[in-house]
A and B are shown apart, each in its own frame.
Chain A
Amino acid sequence: MTTDTLHPLAADYLERLRRAGRGLPAGRRRELLVEIEGHLSEAIEPGASDAQALTVLDRLGEPEAIIAAEMPPADVAPERRGVAEWAAIILLPFGGFIFGIGWLAGLVLLWSSRAWTTRDKWIGTLVIPGGLLTAFAALLALGHPTKKLCTGFPGRIPHCTNAPGPSAGADAVGIAVFVVLVLAPIASAIYLARRAGRLRLP
């Protein structure tokens, strides 16, 4: 980056902007930072005095004001909105253990929220149906390799086999599937939390 050729005051300003913009979607934040870095590098000539740099920064305004202008105005009180979103984020991975219905409750909360885009909601729904219960179910099934992997659980299991007997290859595949089934719902929950974070949830 060219940040090291910036005036030190301009570099400080950019760093404040970067921190203030944590709630923005990552792509939009990056664009904004590049555009404002361009502004700073053109408006402040190399070797400019502190006073000249401060004049440029004054005209730009506070970093927080720029980020505030970027945020969509919240139409519902954010603290009331936050509870349902956090419940969805927790219920999707873990709710399956509450007789299976916890995951469904999370799904309802996910789709009724306005904090996420439709694409986010599909990611939350499909990765992974049943949440960690599905991984748990897979683990039980793997423990009894003569049984079918798919039987007896409400959550769908993407990898179904009629394993005729244990083999080293099948075990390795089984372990890989299990690891994916554990990590995917957690990654999905973290993703949803971050996406909702741009609306400044608590």
Chain B
Amino acid sequence: MAPSIRETAISQLRRGVLEFCVLALLRDGERYSYELVRALGDANGLVTTEGTLYPMLGRLRRDGVVDTTWRESPSGPPRRYYRLTPDGQSVLDGFVIEWTRFRDSVDALLGNGVLK
């Protein structure tokens, strides 16, 4: 069934890149979870359910690519701030190179004219 193959592929693509998008958002400094989730949620077509990003943030922390600190918030419960670890930085650098190559190849094959 064509639509379900397409949906599966899109959701796998999303899942594959989301973690790196989180790392990219942390490149310029730390952010707390709601800021991260909001930034990803606002990106068009990237996230369908914002809530499942929280388990993903937990996995990134367990994988050692991000570090976290809890701080009091001016209102509401404490905030958990995330920042890149040196490991996370090198994972991100590697992905940027791979992604650029991957994107250019796919664009070329799809005929989007990025590579003339």
Contacts and interface: CB of A to CB of B under 8 A. Distances in A.
A1 B57 CA distance: 24
Contacts of A41: 75-77
Given A32-B55, A32-B58, A66-B55, A61 B77 contact: no
A70 B49 contact: no
Contact of B34 (A1, A38, A65, A70): A38
Interface string B70-88: 0001011111100000000
A43 B73 CA distance: 14
Nearest to A38: B77
Which secondary structure dominates where chain A touches chain B?
helix
A53 B37 CA distance: 17
Interface residues of B, number: 23
B33 interface: yes
Given A31-B80, A43-B34, A60 B51 contact: yes
A69 B52 contact: yes
A154 interface: no
A102 B95 CA distance: 53
B76 A66 contact: no
A167 interface: no
Interface in B35-76: 37-38, 41, 48-52, 54-58, 73, 75-76
Contact of A65 (B41, B51, B80): B51
B49 A61 contact: yes
B77 A59 contact: no
Contact of A42 (B54, B57, B76): B76
A155 B25 CA distance: 57
A59 B34 CA distance: 13
B77 A2 contact: yes
Contacts of B58: 28, 31-32, 70
The 4 tightest CB contacts between A and B, nearest first, are: A61-B49, A41-B76, A60-B51, A69-B55
Given A32-B58, A59-B49, A66-B49, 13 more contacts: A1-B77, A2-B76, A32-B54, A35-B57, A38-B33, A38-B76, A39-B50, A41-B75, A60-B49, A61-B52, A66-B52, A69-B52, A70-B58
Interface of B: 32-34, 37-38, 41, 48-52, 54-58, 73, 75-80
